[in-house]
Amino acid sequence: MTYKGFEGYSPIIAYLGQEGYGVNIELREGKQHCQKNTPEFIDESIRYARAVTDKPLIVRMDAGNDSIENIKILIKQETKVDYIIKRNLRKESPEGWLQIARNIGKLIKVREGKDIY
């Protein structure tokens, strides 16, 4: 059962390359939080990927996996990879992040009405 009371599953999948070769797959219970046992899954998946390629790896995850536990796996020497994790703002305001960007970033005017830092 999912947390909403329906029959369901919560799969977690690691794939490799643009072709999407399956590296690691777990079919979890639907009520399970997406972060449960994820650091171990990431560690295992990176090791599997390294067994088939020596090319650089990049790991992409959504905001549900924005956790320090995952980042520790991604940066440790044995499993070090590049990564992109969608930021989970939690109680952080977008205005606060904009202020940080203004304080330490370099302003680039892309066009009228569009600035990036």
The model's pLDDT over 14-28, given as tens digits with 9 standing for 90+, comes to 999 989 999 999 998
Q: How far apart are CA 75 and CA 8, in angstroms?
A: 33
Report angle CA 73, 29, 41 to the nearest 5 degrees.
Answer: 15
Rounded to two decimals, the pTM is 0.74
Please report the beta strands in 17-66, taking only residues with DSSP state E, as ranges in sequence order. Answer: 21-29, 58-61
Max alpha carbon distance in the chain (Å)? 50
The model's pLDDT over 33-77, given as tens digits with 9 standing for 90+, comes to 889 999 999 999 999 999 999 999 999 999 989 999 999 999 999
CA-to-CA separations, 1 to 52, 76, 93, in angstroms, rounded:
36, 35, 34
